Amino acid sequence: MKTKWITNLSILLIIISSCFLSADLANAGLGDPSLQVSAYVTPSEIERGSSGDLKVTVSEVRGDDWAKDVYVRPSITSSNGCTFSPSSKSTSRIGESSSTTFYFTIHVSKDASLGRRKGDISVRYYDTGWMDVGTFGPHYTTGSFSFTVKKGYGSIKVSSNPSGADVYVDGIHRGKTPLSISKIIEGAHSVKLTKFGYEDVSETIYVSVGETTYVSETLSFAIWLLASIFGIIALIIVVVGTFVIRRRKKQAKSTITKAEETTDEEKTKEIKMPEPEEVRERLREIYPEKDAARLANTFRVVQEIRSRYCNTDTTAREINKEFDLLKMYLTEREFLDGIESIQGKINAELREDERLDERHVEEVKNFCEKFTEMWIARFLK
């Protein structure tokens, strides 16, 4: 009886010792996994109003066991308009000497502050004891990442009445109205509309991220062009008559040059100004009414240049406007080439606000004379 009692007591002690031993082994945490974090952002520069991708890789690098219930959460020291989606991610385990990659989206708002951002990755995990008995921890490790917030983009739409106006944004020609331009960096921009025969229009606009800014302008007819057309129409008729008479005289004379025949002063005295009706009838004898009017306009402008702009008070801008007006009435290439040649010379040597010097004045006079001779030879045979 006593022996049986001792035997039972021994078995009980063995069972109790085994339980304590098992608990000690379970609590030992023999695996002790160690995690390492790497992270980077693409693109490294994120525009306001857009997003980027954060890639986080968590690797088990040192332990002899696996990591349990791994929880990953990114954060930014100073968010200022930057958020993550999702805010965190997790996995039930990362095996020994293996890794898991987590992906997050970084959203940057339209009004996020510009500049460099630094962020942290917080990782929490647990490990298990011997024979995967028990759970120990939590343990923590961290990583870091960085990216830059830069200005975003919007768009503009430009229209004008009439259409076909040239559009300049910050001094750069971008096309003709109606016009849509995407990828305009946020902020203030200058917009200028120009069209021949109309006054230029300029304004400053502000482009916001992800939004379209509309520009619509009504162009006003240029006052200087109206004055040129209606203010000197009487002079056109007189000038046309003058050159018709000069042409007739030239045909009756010998082949000596115009410079040898007479001086400018003598020519003024010899020429009789014809009556307006006489000039008109002479043009009608040769050309249809529409062509006669067009040719009369060319004479008007040439004589306007000679009488009003052949002096040192004339600026390059003024003489260019007259040459542009002259080109409006011409379709013949030989005349247009001559105008563009003298315009190119003046524009290459003078700024718009500079005045003609004596050499330029003489060149303009010679151009008027040559133009007149070519015109008579071509249109009043």
Query: pLDDT at residue 339 above 70?
Result: yes
Same domain for 62 and 197, yes or no, is no
Q: Please say which residue of 150, 178, 200 terminates a domain.
A: 150
Residue 314 resides in a domain: yes
Query: pLDDT at residue 58 above 90?
Result: yes
Same domain for 100 and 164, yes or no, is no
> Using one digit for the tens of pLDDT, what is the confidence trace for 117-154?
889 999 998 988 666 677 888 989 999 989 899 999 99
Which pLDDT score is estimated for 267? 45
> And the tokens for 134?
């028990």
Query: pLDDT at residue 105 above 50?
Result: yes
Which pLDDT score is estimated for 363? 92
Query: pLDDT at residue 314 above 60?
Result: yes
The rounded distance, in Å, linking the Cα atoms of 375 and 199 is: 31
Residues 303 and 235 sit within 8 Å (Cβ to Cβ):
yes
Give the residue numbers spanning the domain of 335.
Answer: 225-379
Query: pLDDT at residue 17 above 70?
Result: no
Query: pLDDT at residue 8 above 80?
Result: no
Q: Global pTM?
A: 0.50
Same domain for 291 and 203, yes or no, is no
Same domain for 179 and 303, yes or no, is no
Residue 309 resides in a domain: yes
Residue 306 resides in a domain: yes
Residue 247 resides in a domain: yes
Same domain for 117 and 132, yes or no, is yes
CATH of the domain at 192: 2.60.40.1120
Same domain for 329 and 189, yes or no, is no
Q: How far is CA 307 from CA 203, 239, 311, 343, in A?
A: 37, 10, 9, 18
Same domain for 41 and 82, yes or no, is yes
Same domain for 202 and 270, yes or no, is no
Residue 72 resides in a domain: yes
Which pLDDT score is estimated for 27? 43
Instruction: Give the pLDDT band (50/70/90) at residue 234.
Output: low
Instruction: Give the pLDDT band (50/70/90) at residue 175.
Output: very high
Same domain for 237 and 135, yes or no, is no
Residue 110 resides in a domain: yes
> And the tokens for 77?
């020291």
Instruction: Give the pLDDT band (50/70/90) at residue 80.
Output: confident
Instruction: Give the pLDDT band (50/70/90) at residue 40.
Output: confident
Q: What is the strand order of the sheet 45-47 is part of? A: 45-47, 135-150, 115-128, 67-76, 89-94
Which pLDDT score is estimated for 35? 86
Q: How far is CA 370 from CA 40, 258, 295, 306, 335, in A?
A: 73, 11, 16, 12, 10
Same domain for 76 and 114, yes or no, is yes
Query: pLDDT at residue 20 above 70?
Result: no
Instruction: Give the pLDDT band (50/70/90) at residue 250.
Output: low
- What percentage of the chain carries pLDDT values higher than 90? 36
CATH of the domain at 104: 2.60.40.1530
The rounded distance, in Å, linking the Cα atoms of 89 and 74 is: 9
Q: Please say which residue of 134, 150, 166 terminates a domain.
A: 150
| Beta strands at 115-128 and 135-150: parallel, antiparallel or unpaired | antiparallel
Q: How far is CA 352 from CA 33, 310, 315, 340, in A?
A: 78, 16, 7, 16
Which pLDDT score is estimated for 86? 93
Same domain for 230 and 374, yes or no, is yes
Residue 117 resides in a domain: yes
Instruction: Give the pLDDT band (50/70/90) at residue 248.
Output: confident
Residue 60 resides in a domain: yes
- For the segment 205-225, the average pLDDT, to the nearest whole number, is 87
Query: pLDDT at residue 310 above 50?
Result: yes
Number of domains, the chain: 3
Which pLDDT score is estimated for 56? 94
Mean of per-residue pLDDT scores for the chain: 81
Q: Please say which residue of 150, 165, 190 terminates a domain.
A: 150
- For the segment 361-370, the average pLDDT, to the nearest whole number, is 91
Same domain for 251 and 345, yes or no, is yes
Which pLDDT score is estimated for 220? 87
